[in-house]
Amino acid sequence: MELLKQKVIREGIVLGQGVLKVDSFLNHQMDPFLMREVGREFTRRFAGEAVTKVLTIESSGIAPGIMTALELEVPLIFARKQKSLTLTEDIYVEQVYSFTKQVSNDITVAKKFIAPGERVLIVDDFLANGEAALGLARIVEQAGASVAGIGIVIEKSFQPGASRLKEAGYRVESLVRIAALENGAVSFVEEA
């Protein structure tokens, strides 16, 4: 997605440890026009998948998630990140290790929001090791629903997330794919 690629080139800041900061349009300040285009692009790519709900994780997944849900005309659910849980009867819980924060969080979704048989599209801002997306997929499957696909705004292709998700059998669509973050510069995977 050229618009998004140009935004990453102009505004992305390469931090150490393979982290890209995009707080001017996705992770702090958000660009609604760009998010609308992201929602349209995911909708175009997953048009044949009979999606009934979009699922993301708070907080940075919510903007691309809601715009995708709006275009697909289905609800958005965002999984909550929680430290410690006591009552877990009415919620699905999965443990997810955070790449950027280096801690494990429980992520939760209320059972009443995913019915058996639903087709759930998972959307997230970044794909690194695939922990967040795999945790969300496990929740969908716990509910007896199926994963319609995984839509990623920025994939860091030098980390194993995309191959882990594809090996697990999921269809992954990433709007930009980053080959490397080295010496302060972003390089992209060449599109075929």
Positions touching ligand 5GP (CB under 6 A) are 19-22, 27, 57, 60, 99-100, 124-132, 156, 161
CB of 116 vs ligand 5GP, minimal distance in Å: 26
Give whichever of 92 and 99 is closer to ligand 5GP, judged by the CB atom: 99
Distances (CA, A) of 149 to 16, 123, 153: 31, 9, 13
Closer to ligand 5GP by Cβ: residue 97 or 115: 97
CB of 90 to ligand 5GP, least distance (A): 25
Q: Which is nearer to ligand 5GP, 25 or 92 (CB)?
A: 25
Pairing outcome for strands 146-156 and 53-57: unpaired
Residue 102 C-beta: closest distance to ligand 5GP, Å? 11
Tell me if 130 sits within 8 A of 160, measured CB to CB: yes
Cβ contact 154:22 at 8 Å: yes
Give the whole-angstrom CA distance, residue 188 versus residue 192.
12
